[in-house]
Structure 1
Amino acid sequence: MFAVTIDQRGSRRDGDRVPDLLRALEERWPGIVADSTVARPSGCVRGFERTVGDEVQAVLEDAGLVVEIVSWVLRHGGWSVGIGAGRVDEPLPPNARAASGPAFVLAREAVEAAKSRQRVVPLAVRGAHHQAGLDAESVLTLVAATAARRSAAGWEAIDALEAAGPDVRQEDVAAAMGVSQQAVSQRLRTALYDESRTAARAAAHLLVSAQG
């Protein structure tokens, strides 16, 4: 299992942004928030909810979903993210806030480490398999750092491509954007889109191994 803890950065300066984060998560992944009125998405065991202060937490079992959510949160900025990979105490209570187990202890260690000002990306992973957790952290950090360097044009092409679905052709995306197919292809190459997707899959595999 994966306990994912997300803590707001600079809350004294910016005020409480947790409600905005929960709304945005629910819009992006309907059912991912604990009090959602729709069914949880596959891979979500307990939805995101506020735990203490300016922090939210969820329990997930799909490493790919963990990578998607963490990458999305880091892209939008303002949050420290900790991932704990390991066992959770069974039976799980109805919400993440009341749950316990090694994964939650690891997530706490991870989010505290993620707050270090020495980190280029405010992310940390701690796993029952220690080295696999650190390896997952390294790959996820590379993915997030690459994403942070993308231009607005690069993100426009990526967002349009992903919104259109897995079977869409670049020609169709280009037509919808009003640019040439070559322009879309160039934007994706410059953004290292294919390379980042490959790295994200590797990170997911490492997270699975980090569970021990």
Structure 2
Amino acid sequence: MKDNALTGVWVVNVDQRRSRREPDRVEEVLDLTRSLAGVVLGFERTAGDEVQGLLAEPSAVTDLVAGLARLDAARRFEEPGWRIGIGLGDVEDRTVASTREARGSAYLSARQAIDEAARAPARLALRSARRDDVAPGHLAEAALILFRTLLTRRTDKGWEVVDAMADGATQAQVAERLGVSESAVSQRLGRAGWREGVRGAELVTSLLAAVQDRGGSG
């Protein structure tokens, strides 16, 4: 392994589905990724309707999947509008300036994952460069699929009330802010799967971290 290599990092490929029938939505994803923490190499359009970036933190992977689900909710898609391929592995040279220039097992894993995502539940797949990561990686992938499925079904009103709760406000405060009753807030949170979403994000990030801790090199 070279001294300037990166080990155990995440490459994420995101590819627009139904791109021949719909407007190009790549810029939406690029805008989303600019606010992510833990980005090593920023997301870029690599080919057609596909974008790719390099992430260091499991929480950034979780946030990206959640953000993509929210974009789908805004478009009122009943199923994911993006294929997501997540690869864990190494990058040969940390000094490159662009994800287009980077090479390594993380990129190979992400390419395998995006290809397999076309047939996977929730159109999402995760692959690791390490053979002994198959079992924990499978669990992390399963949690990501469930997490994405939950969030894709959340409506605009659901996201609105979840956002209002995100800063630590009480349901009474949120009700006053939105001009509705506390009962309405409680019902919206239930339909939005608010508590499940919070626990799901914690579970996904924890499982991703467990896979990453085992190392990314093959």
For Structure 1 versus Structure 2, the TM-score category normalised by the shorter chain is 0.7 to 0.9
Tell me the equivalent position of 2:170: 169
CA deviation after TM superposition for structure 1 residue 24, in Å: 4.4
Q: Is 2:47 the partner of 1:52? A: yes
Answer yes or no: is the 8 Å Cα contact 1:111–1:123 preserved in 2. Answer: yes
After TM superposition, list the pairs within 5 Å mapping 1:16-27 onto structure 2.
Answer: 16-26=24-34
Answer yes or no: is the 8 Å Cα contact 1:130–1:210 preserved in 2. Answer: no
Match of 1:104 among 107, 115, 127: 107
CA deviation after TM superposition for structure 1 residue 17, in Å: 2.4
Q: Is 2:169 the partner of 1:158? A: no
Which one-letter code corresponds to 2:197 in the other structure? S
Match of 1:14 among 12, 22, 25: 22
Tell me the equivalent position of 1:4: 12
Q: Partners of 1:15 and 1:150 in 2: how far apart?
A: 23
CA deviation after TM superposition for structure 1 residue 203, in Å: 1.1
CA deviation after TM superposition for structure 1 residue 207, in Å: 1.3
After TM superposition, list the pairs within 5 Å mapping 1:41-190 onto structure 2.
Answer: 42-77=37-72, 78-116=81-119, 119-127=120-128, 128=130, 129-162=133-166, 165=167, 167-190=168-191
Which one-letter code corresponds to 1:17 in the other structure? R
Residues 90-124 of structure 1 deviation map (CA, whole Å, 9 limit, x = unaligned)? 334111111111111111111111112xx441111
Q: Are residues 25 and 72 of structure 1, via their aligned partners in 2, closer, same or farther at CA, if it must alter by over 3 Å? A: same
Q: Partners of 1:176 and 1:58 in 2: how far apart?
A: 37
CA deviation after TM superposition for structure 1 residue 189, in Å: 2.4
Residues 139-191 of structure 1 deviation map (CA, whole Å, 9 limit, x = unaligned)? 011111122333443233113323xx2x3222222111111223212221232
Q: Partners of 1:200 and 1:5 in 2: how far apart?
A: 20
Residues 61-115 of structure 1 deviation map (CA, whole Å, 9 limit, x = unaligned)? 1111210111211332321111112222233411111111111111111111111
Q: TM-score, length-normalised on structure 1?
A: 0.83
Q: Partners of 1:48 and 1:152 in 2: how far apart?
A: 26
Tell me the equivalent position of 1:36: none
Answer yes or no: is the 8 Å Cα contact 2:32–2:67 preserved in 1. Answer: no
Tell me the equivalent position of 2:205: 204
Q: Partners of 1:150 and 1:91 in 2: how far apart?
A: 38
What is the SS of the residue equivalent to 1:110? helix
CA deviation after TM superposition for structure 1 residue 14, in Å: 1.8
- What is the aligned-residue identity percentage? 39
What is the SS of the residue equivalent to 1:94? coil
Q: Are residues 66 and 14 of structure 1, via their aligned partners in 2, closer, same or farther at CA, if it must alter by over 3 Å? A: same
Which one-letter code corresponds to 2:88 in the other structure? A
Tell me the equivalent position of 1:38: none
What is the SS of the residue equivalent to 2:47? coil
Tell me the equivalent position of 1:35: none
Q: Partners of 2:69 and 2:151 in 1: how far apart?
A: 9
User: Number of aligned pairs?
Assistant: 194
User: Structure 1: where are the runs of 5+ without partners?
Assistant: 33-41
Answer yes or no: is the 8 Å Cα contact 1:85–1:133 preserved in 2. Answer: no
